[in-house]
A and B are shown apart, each in its own frame.
Chain A
Amino acid sequence: MTLRALAAFLGRRLLGLVLLLLIISFLVFSLIYLAPGNLVDALLGTGEKSPQLVAAIEARYHLDQPFMVQYLLWLKDAVQLDFGTSIKLNESVTAVLADRMSVTLFLGVFGFLVAVVCGLALGIAAALRRGTSVDRGAVGLAVLGVSTPTFATGLILLWVFGILLGWFPVIGDGDPTFSDRLWHLTLPAIALGVTGTALMAKMTRAALIAGYEQDYVGFARSRGVGGLRILLVYGLRNSLVPIVTAAGMVITATLTGSVLIEQTFSLKGVGELLISSINNKDIPVVQATTILVAVLVVVVNLLVDLSYFAIDPRTRRA
């Protein structure tokens, strides 16, 4: 693939990405109109309603303008990362979000690493010992991991390691130092990583088994190539496309799963902010959080697609 073809592909995908985000942002903006009750009430939340406040809200949201104009004005601010003021916290939404980011980011990266490391190890072990009890155990764990809701895993871990054994703290995200964070977020990250581990193990196992049935693996074996080299250079290298696809899916699952896990472990992250804002009808925060997660997911999907070109030269020919 020439550089020009790559640029054309990238341009097309970016255009699609912008279109997708426009659709999502439009839906998210319409939320305030779909919410039950009066629009001004919805925007003011449960706070008191003075004429000045109502006037300020009407001016802020351009409520005297037609719907599409309102959306475009809102979008203009949103593009500049201005999502208005949180109704409940009376602070800029961007500041509130930035404040919550560190916990969620730490938890997300930690959970993702757990999923990738455990999932790869489990998948490789199952593929190499295919048909044995190791394989059956790994596949069984994977099915159980996919079937168990994140919050149920979290609760069981909380009970066993937090309460019965008392090894880990039960509540909160700890001091902002790295070691304390690590200690407080270990259980949540493991719980968050279980679904991803299952996904990763399933995909890795299937890809490796298919790879090991190829003639070149049999031929490499007959030439006396070592088992480790076969695994790394012949097996995993050729299974990288499905593995990276799985990793992308794990990131999405981790992002949405953190909403549930933060609730389970009472962590003050972005997910907890989303749920409390929904309960308080704090629509600007809900809008900003939804857009933030949607942007992250869409960008991750694009990066995964782009990585195929780097991983597998055959995809560049198309």
Chain B
Amino acid sequence: MTEILDAPTTVPSRRPGRPSILVGLSFLVIALVVVCAIAGPALAPYSASAQDLTDTLAEPSAAHLLGTDDLGRDVFSRILAGAASALTGPLVIALGAMLIGSLLGLTAGYRGGFTETAIMRWVDLMYAVPQLLIAIVVVGVLSGTYWEAVLVLIVLTAPGDTRILRGAAIEQRGLPYVEALRVLGVPGPRILIRHVWPTLVPLSVAQTFLNFATSLVTLASLSFLGLGVAPGAADWGRMLAEGRDLVDVNPWTAIAPGLAIALTAAGFNIAGDWLHERLAGRGKDRT
């Protein structure tokens, strides 16, 4: 009888600490992209902009792993070179959003009152409008450059970080260590920067990975539409747009950059989810 009376146990989930093969692969993809972003042009067999008009639209071969485009440029080399702009833009966006989001979120969550209302109204406003549309219209009408697009996306991404860090800061505000510091007379900004912020860094870092993946896709969407990046640049979104018309001659001009974007974004998404699971709950046991 005792077996029957036992409370039903839920299916034991895998320990979140141990990375699976998929997570390992994701970090491998990220590492590969980073290596290409730093040393891409040196590793590439050809220069990304070198044209060879006698060898256009070649099929994949030993000389050209992914064939050539309509100007005879080596697609594989261009993918390697494109890693740089695929990495820097999203990195700046994710870090910028983390910085602004942490500052606003922590302030809102810790101070409360009017400051919180003002910040959160702004966040609500940014959430109510479709991000990609705003980015397209603003960057398009202002004929923005790549870095202006990055700036617009920082403003559009920061509200997400703000919301998450505000929630976490509210949780921390009532904990004994914060109260103890307050009783000791430690000034508010110091408590926030030296004591509360470090406990929330893991959460921020995990969110930064997820933001990176989203920004990569959004930036690529903009350059696919011809916004931000200059024509002819070795940028994955731009290459995809230019390869669109060549898809029946050498499909790899379009498929390869598409896969590059998808794999990189998936890598950052999986790594971010894993970090979230592993790091986000860590501070809780110590309370």
Interface residues, chain A, CB within 8 Å of chain B? 20, 23-24, 28, 31, 34-36, 130-131, 140, 143-144, 146-152, 155-156, 158-159, 163, 170, 213, 218, 252, 255-257, 259-260, 263-264, 274-275, 278-279, 281, 283, 286, 290, 293-294, 297-298, 301
Contact = CB atoms under 8 A, between A and B. Distances in A.
Given A158-B247, A256-B130, A149 B125 contact: no
Interface stretch (B44-52, B58-66, B96-104, B132-140): B132-140
Interface residues of B, number: 47
Contact of B261 (A35, A152, A293): A152
B72 interface: no
A156 B258 contact: yes
B251 A144 contact: no
Interface stretch (B151-159, B193-201, B216-224): B216-224
Contacts of A34: 141-142
A259 B132 contact: yes
Contacts of A131: 11, 13
Given A131-B11, A147-B265, A274 B226 contact: no
Interface string B114-133: 00000000000100111111
Contacts of A31: 137-138, 141
A272 to B, nearest CB: 10
Interface of B: 8, 10-11, 13, 22, 125, 128-133, 136-138, 140-143, 213, 217, 220-221, 224-227, 237, 240, 244, 247-248, 251, 254-255, 257-259, 261-263, 265-266, 268-270, 273
27 contacts: A20-B125, A20-B128, A131-B13, A140-B22, A147-B213, A147-B262, A148-B217, A148-B265, A148-B266, A149-B262, A149-B265, A155-B240, A155-B244, A155-B247, A155-B258, A163-B247, A255-B130, A256-B130, A259-B132, A259-B225, A260-B224, A260-B225, A263-B225, A274-B137, A286-B141, A290-B133, A294-B133
List the 8 closest A-B pairs by CB distance, nearest first.
Answer: A152-B258, A278-B140, A147-B265, A147-B266, A148-B262, A256-B132, A149-B217, A256-B130
A217 B13 CA distance: 19
B251 A159 contact: yes
Contacts of A260: 221, 224-225
Contacts of A155: 240, 244, 247, 254-255, 258
Contacts of B265: 146-149
A152 B262 CA distance: 8
Contact of A283 (B128, B141, B261, B266): B141
Given A20-B125, A24-B129, A143-B266, A218 B247 contact: no
A156 B261 CA distance: 13
Contacts of B225: 259-260, 263, 275
A274 to B, nearest CB: 7
Contact of A259 (B133, B240, B247): B133
A3 to B, nearest CB: 27
Contacts of B128: 20, 297-298, 301
A12 to B, nearest CB: 14
Contact of A149 (B136, B255, B261, B268): B261
Given A36-B142, A293-B130, A298-B128, A149 B11 contact: no
Nearest to B142: A34
A148 B226 CA distance: 19
Contacts of B263: 147
Contacts of B132: 256-257, 259
Nearest to A20: B128
A35 B226 contact: no
Nearest to B143: A36
Given A163-B248, A283-B141, A293 B258 contact: no
